[in-house]
Amino acid sequence: MMTSIFQATIEFLKAFWAPLLCGVAIVAVLPLIVGYIVLVERKLMADMQARLGPMRVGPHGLLQPIADAVKLLTKEDIIPDNADKLVFWLAPVLSVGAALLSLAGLAIGPAFQIAQDINIGILFVVGVSALGIFGIVLGGWASNSHYSLMGALRSSAQLVSYETAAGMALVSALLFTGTLNIKSIVEAQNKEAIWFVMLAPVAFFTYLVASIAETNRAPFDLPEAESELVAGYMTEFSGFRWSLYFLAEYANMIVVASVATTLFLGGWLRPFAKFHELPGFHWLNFLDFVPALLMVAIGVYCLQRTPKQPTRVQQIFMLAVAGLCFVLGLVLLAPVVVPVAKPFYAGIHGGFWFIFKVSLYIYFFMWLRFTIPRYRFDQLMRLGWHFLIPLSIVNVLLVGVALIAGSYLNLHGWELLLVTTPAAIITLIVAFLILAMEKEHRARQDQAAASDFYAG
């Protein structure tokens, strides 16, 4: 009996060691990554507002995320009197679970993917990440506070409104791929030698706006608008429970960025990836050295900053960071120059480019957050229902027309731009028409309201 169980376990591990390892890696590393994204965000915000940001914990605040995690773990846990205890406990777990689970479908480089060959790839990711809304609504409902409930309701209304626009944007990109499988989507972009952001720019824009709204980020962060709702659905949550919601929010950001990267920005593909496969040398292949050079540049910068650190411990830590950058640079350089390491090229460089693009997307989120003031709730709903949804429907149909024209003219790859660009321009004209109509509509409404007012 014991041996059979043991053998079954061995068989199981043999069959599924790779996804198991990936899963453990993601669950173990993601909280740390989220902590550092928060640090980067605070540093960026400080930079854009001409301050320094966190500087105390570690050199340039590099250990701040760890200090924050320890603080949150040792905080007192408060559950309000009339709260529904079970749901209060369950809601953050559900929220973070959905956000992390949707990462299973995504491919970070061709080698690193948990659900290797599920054929509904992108649908799985979108579907599971949408489950996170249950965590928010249940959390708001369970805490029995007016602010929490209001935040939860707003959050659900907002997510639901923008889900449709995001789905339509995905459909426009899927028209080009003909498959839902994540790997096939990226390979389709390699085959066409063009990223879908060029072929469907309007869809990318729609997805960008909708994904900001779906992750409750500024300028659409109404559910947690601190000036009106204290902290929205998180008002009653404290300590580690609160940090789970926080983790879910940033994990969701990573998920939407990854979906956009996979569908529109070429996934793990290097820019001009086609030239890497061609025999012989091409000058564009210098792009293979860019990752290593970038790492070395960061390392050299850290070295330069080292003597300026105030204490010995901080100097040593800065040196260690520089060393880490150099090691990463070597790892990224090896597959390009060492013949033995050639087979690892796709895995290592694929991972680099994927993470690089995801970081750029998240950087754009942060940039918007520090630049644009918050929307009002009715403005937010109007943008969703009156502008983005009709626009994305028109876009889907026009991309379809462009594809038919492309097939009659026998266009492939870059040549498809000849038909998709006019389609995008027509969609833009439609967008301006919708905006003009909207303005007129508003003007008429305001006039009516004013005359009502004066009529008494």
Q: How many residues bind another protein (CB under 8 A)?
A: 90
Q: Is 224 in the site for another protein (CB under 8 A)?
A: no
Q: Is 143 in the site for another protein (CB under 8 A)?
A: yes
CB of 231 to another protein, least distance (A): 9
CB of 442 to another protein, least distance (A): 10
CB of 110 to another protein, least distance (A): 16
Scanning 136-144, 216-224, 282-290, 367-375 for contacts with another protein by CB under 8 A, the matching segment is 136-144
Scanning 155-163, 207-215, 302-310, 327-335 for contacts with another protein by CB under 8 A, the matching segment is 155-163
Judged by CB under 8 A, which of 3, 74, 227, 451 binds another protein?
74
First to last CA, the chain: 87
User: Residue 421: how many CB atoms within 10 A of its CB?
Assistant: 14
Q: Is 452 in the site for another protein (CB under 8 A)?
A: no
Q: Is 190 in the site for another protein (CB under 8 A)?
A: no
Interacting residues with another protein between 17 and 56 (CB under 8 A): 19-20, 22-24, 26-27
Q: Is 68 in the site for another protein (CB under 8 A)?
A: no
Scanning 55-63, 119-127, 267-275, 336-344 for contacts with another protein by CB under 8 A, the matching segment is 119-127
Judged by CB under 8 A, which of 331, 393, 428, 430 binds another protein?
393
Q: Is 423 in the site for another protein (CB under 8 A)?
A: no
Residue the block writes with tokens 């009002």: 376
Scanning 48-56, 172-180, 271-279, 324-332 for contacts with another protein by CB under 8 A, the matching segment is 172-180
Please say whether the beta carbons of 310 and 58 come within 8 A: no
Cβ-in-10-Å burial (0-12, 13-18, 19+) of 148 comes to buried
CB of 29 to another protein, least distance (A): 12
Judged by CB under 8 A, which of 87, 115, 284, 417 binds another protein?
115
Q: Is 180 in the site for another protein (CB under 8 A)?
A: yes
Q: Which of 169/328 has CB closer to another protein? A: 169
Interacting residues with another protein between 316 and 355 (CB under 8 A): none
Judged by CB under 8 A, which of 107, 108, 133, 149 binds another protein?
149
Q: Is 397 in the site for another protein (CB under 8 A)?
A: yes
Q: Is 304 in the site for another protein (CB under 8 A)?
A: no
Q: Is 401 in the site for another protein (CB under 8 A)?
A: yes
